[in-house]
Structure 1
Amino acid sequence: MIRINLLPYREFRRRAQIRRDGIGIAVFLVIVGGLLTAAYFHLQRVEQRHQARVTYMEDALDRIEDKLAEVNQIKEKRQGLIRKLEVIQQLQDGRELSTNILQTLGQAVPEEVSLSGMEQTDNGLNLEGDARDNNAVSSFMRRLEASTLFRNPDLRVIRGKDDGEAVKSFTLAVSLARGDESGQAEGGG
């Protein structure tokens, strides 16, 4: 029988197999390397886009903060103007107050009462005067309460004079009605 030595053939096949496996591994490594490189560059582009977006947002935020500061300055100026307008309105409302007080007092004082003093306080008036009797003072207080300008007349002191006549001296406090109360009384009356 013929003997054939298959050892070199097996060795040749094993080397060819190792070569094929080595080429396969090299191709796999090249593909994996290519994919990793492509992924790296893709992630770099994504990071650049995100960085550009962050920069844009920061710039937009800075612009918004500048606008907000400008709006706040305008609001402060507006509040200042509103306060000034309120002061002007109060001055306008108070401009005619003294005239209205004197006119209303002139209409409310009965013939039996004479006023000798008047002092304006923060929330009303203190009135001093003389009256023929208690009924005249009472009538004066009712007329003040019926007016649209005065509220809550309060008799502080009433006393007889020492000069022998029946004249009574009195001190009276009366509150001024607020502008909205007097406006409602005028509109409703």
Structure 2
Amino acid sequence: MANIDLRPWREERRKARQNQFVTILAIVAALAAGAGWAWNQSVQNQINFQNARNTYLEDKIKDLDVRIKEIQTLRQQREELIDRMNVIASLQGDRPIIVHIFEELVNATPEGVFFSSLIVNGTSIQISAQADKALSVSDFLRNLDNSVWFDNAFLEVMESIKDGQEVVGHKFNLRVTRANPLKNEEEDS
């Protein structure tokens, strides 16, 4: 009986090792759960941080879109103002031209020619007039062609005015294009 050990220390040692194993297992499980929870919190914090950055960027993009629309409307208004200024400048530049046109019409009109109507459409001038002689009509056309303020004088219609069998005058319509010698001088300079 010498080989039988009846002391309970082995049993206690086994229980102590088992308790130690369970304790270590519980600590490792708790540490693993803690590490998993910490990793999950870290990932959630990164996701929340990225979502906050995305929201911030989306807000800034919306603000920039509003500013871009404002800039586009301002550019459009600027272009409209520039167009208006160009129209006004061209009108201001054309103001003295009408004086020259009328002066040249007076100088080019021979005696015996009387205007019925004068219609200006852009650079085209439509003249309806009467003349006492056919020679006055041809002189008028020649004078218009020789003027630096007119180009392309063209007789469209000419009718004789009769009193019985006698020709007392001529009605005629002509078209002439307005020229601007001042503009040509500026371009040459």
TM-score (norm 2): 0.66
Give 1:157's aligned residue.
157
Equivalent-residue separation in structure 2 for 1:183 and 1:35 (angstroms): 87
* Percent sequence identity over aligned pairs: 26
Aligned-pair CA distance for 1:186: 7.2
Q: 1:91 to 1:186 in 2, by over 3 A?
A: closer
**Structure 2 vs 1, CA of residues 67 and 117 (structure 1 numbering), >3 Å: closer, same or farther?**
same
Q: 1:171 aligns with which of 147, 170, 173?
A: 173
Structure 1: how far apart are the matches of 2:167 and 2:111?
14
Number of the residue aligned with 1:71: 71
Query: Offset at 1:46?
Result: 1.0
Residue equivalent to 1:117: 116
- Counterpart in 2 of 1:129? 130
Q: Which amino acid aligns with 1:26?
A: A
SS in 2 for 1:102: helix
State the Cα distance separating 1:36 from its structure 2 match.
1.0
Q: Report how many residues are paired.
A: 184
Supply the AA of the counterpart residue of 1:91.
Answer: L
Shift of 1:72: 4.1
In structure 2, distance between residues paired with 1:147 and 1:77: 42
C-alpha contact 1:156 1:173 (8 A) present in aligned 2:
yes
- What is the Cα deviation at residue 82 of structure 1? 2.8
Q: 1:22 to 1:143 in 2, by over 3 A?
A: farther
Instruction: Please say if residues 161 and 169 of structure 1, whose CA atoms lie closer than 8 Å, have aligned partners that are also in contact.
Output: yes
Describe the shift of the 1:54–1:187 C-alpha distance in structure 2 as closer, same or farther (beyond 3 A).
Answer: closer
CA apart distance, 1:141: 3.0
With structure 1 as the length reference, what TM-score do the two structures score?
0.66
How many Å separate the matches in 1 of 2:186 and 2:104?
13
CA-CA distance at 1:102 after TM superposition: 0.9
> What letter corresponds to residue 41 of structure 1 in structure 2?
Q
**What is the Cα deviation at residue 107 of structure 1?**
3.6
Q: Give the Cα separation in 2 of the matches to 1:112 and 1:84.
A: 43
Question: Per the alignment, do residues 187 and 66 of structure 1 end up closer, same or farther by CA in structure 2, a change over 3 Å counting?
Answer: closer
Q: 1:94 to 1:185 in 2, by over 3 A?
A: closer
Q: Normalized per residue, which structure has more strand?
A: 2
1:92-122 CA deviation, whole Å, 9 max, x = no partner? 234224312112223433x466233332242
